[in-house]
Chains A and B, each alone.
Chain A
Amino acid sequence: MIAQPAPKPEILARRAEILAALSTLVPGDGVIGDPTRLKPYETDGLPAYRQVPLAVVLPRTTEQVAAVLRYCHVNGIRVVPRGAGTSLSGGALPLADSIVIGLMRMNRILDIDLDDRFAVVEAGVTNIGITKAVEGDGFFYAPDPSSQLACMIGGNVMMNSGGAHCLKYGVTANNLLGLKFVTIEGEVIDIGGAHLDAAGYDWLGLITGSEGQLGIVTEVTVRILRGPEGARAMLAAFKGTEIAGAAVDAIIGSGIIPVALEFMDKPCIHACEAFAHAGYPLDAEAMLIIEVEGSTAEQDDLLNRIKAICERFDPISLKVADSVEQSLAIWKGRKGAFGAVGRISPDYLCMDGTIPTSELPHVLKRIGEMSVQFDLKVANVFHAGDGNLHPLIMFDANDPDSFRRAEAFGAAILTLCVEVGGCLTGEHGVGVEKRDLMTVQFTARELDQQRALKSAFDPQWLLNTAKVFPLQGASVAMAAE
Chain B
Amino acid sequence: MSATLAPPDEAGIAAAIVAAHAAREPLVIEGRGTKRGLLRPVQAARTLSLRKLSGITLYKPAELVLSARAGTPLPEIEAALAEHGQHLIAEPPDLRALLGGEEPATLGGIVAANLSGPRRIAWGAMRDHVLGVRFVNGAGEVLRSGGRVLKNVTGLDLCKLLAGSYGTLGVMTEVTIKVLPAPEATATLIIEVPDLDAGVRALSAGLGSPFGVSGAALLPGAPHRAALRLEDFAASVSYRMERLREDLARFGTARRVIEAEESRAFWRGVRDAVPLAAQPDHAVWRVSVRPSAGPAVAAAAQALGGRALLDWGGGLVWVAAPATVATHDALAAAAAVSGGTCTLFRAPDSLRLTVDVLPAEPAPLAAIGARVKAALDPAGILNPGRMRAGL
A residues apposed to B, CB below 8 Å = 113-118, 138-139, 159-160, 162, 166-167, 170-171, 173-174, 183, 185, 187, 189-191, 193-206, 208-210, 213, 226-229, 249-250, 252-257, 294-295, 297-298, 301-302, 354-358, 383, 385-388, 421-430, 434, 438, 441-443, 445-447, 449-450, 452-457, 468
Interface-centre pick from B159, B207, B239, B368 (highest chain A CB count, 10 A): B368
A456 to B290, CA, bound (A): 31
Interface size class of B (residues with CB under 8 A): 35 or more
Kindly list 13 other residue pairs between chains A and B, CB separation below 8 angstroms, not including A386-B150, A453-B376: A115-B201, A183-B364, A194-B339, A200-B361, A206-B158, A226-B210, A297-B239, A356-B149, A386-B151, A427-B151, A438-B155, A446-B143, A449-B375
Whether the Cβ atoms of A196 and B359 lie closer than 8 Å is: no
Contacts of B125 in A (CB 8 A): 196-197
B368 contact from A257, A434, A456, Cβ within 8 A? A456
Contacts of A226 in B (CB 8 A): 207-210
- Whether A195 touches B365, Cβ cut-off 8 Å, given contacts A117-B207, A209-B157, A356-B148, is no
Contacts of B165 in A (CB 8 A): 201-202
Q: Which of B26-34, B57-65, B269-277, B347-355 contacts A (4 or more CB under 8 A)?
A: B57-65
Nearest CB of A to B145, in Å: 7
Interface-centre pick from A167, A227, A456 (highest chain B CB count, 10 A): A456
| Contact count A vs B, C-beta below 8 Å | 254
Whether the Cβ atoms of B149 and A426 lie closer than 8 Å is: yes
- Whether A198 touches B365, Cβ cut-off 8 Å, given contacts A356-B65, A422-B149, is no
Q: Enumerate 11 A-B pairs (CB-CB under 8 Å) in ascending A order.
A: A114-B208, A117-B208, A201-B165, A202-B165, A205-B157, A255-B182, A297-B239, A358-B62, A443-B143, A449-B137, A453-B156
Contacts of A198 in B (CB 8 A): 288, 341
Nearest CB of B to A191, in Å: 7
- Whether A202 touches B160, Cβ cut-off 8 Å, given contacts A356-B63, A356-B65, is yes
- The answer, yes or no, to whether B127 is at the interface (CB within 8 Å) is yes
Contacts of A450 in B (CB 8 A): 155-156, 158
Contacts of B55 in A (CB 8 A): none
A150 to B212, CA, bound (A): 29
Contacts of A250 in B (CB 8 A): 62
Whether the Cβ atoms of A421 and B341 lie closer than 8 Å is: no
Task: List the A residue with the shortest CB-CB distance to B39.
Answer: A199
Nearest CB of A to B260, in Å: 17
Whether the Cβ atoms of A195 and B288 lie closer than 8 Å is: yes
**Interchain residue pairs A-B with the least CB separation, the first 9:** A205-B160, A456-B371, A255-B181, A187-B364, A386-B150, A452-B375, A426-B151, A249-B62, A354-B149
Interface-centre pick from A114, A201, A385, A457 (highest chain B CB count, 10 A): A201
- The answer, yes or no, to whether B369 is at the interface (CB within 8 Å) is yes
Whether the Cβ atoms of B155 and A206 lie closer than 8 Å is: no
- Whether A116 touches B290, Cβ cut-off 8 Å, given contacts A189-B362, A202-B161, A354-B152, is yes
Whether the Cβ atoms of B365 and A355 lie closer than 8 Å is: no
- Whether A422 touches B147, Cβ cut-off 8 Å, given contacts A196-B125, A201-B165, is yes
Contacts of B239 in A (CB 8 A): 295, 297-298
- The answer, yes or no, to whether B322 is at the interface (CB within 8 Å) is no
Contacts of B372 in A (CB 8 A): 201, 453, 456
- The answer, yes or no, to whether B124 is at the interface (CB within 8 Å) is yes
A208 contact from B160, B180, B204, B364, Cβ within 8 A? B160
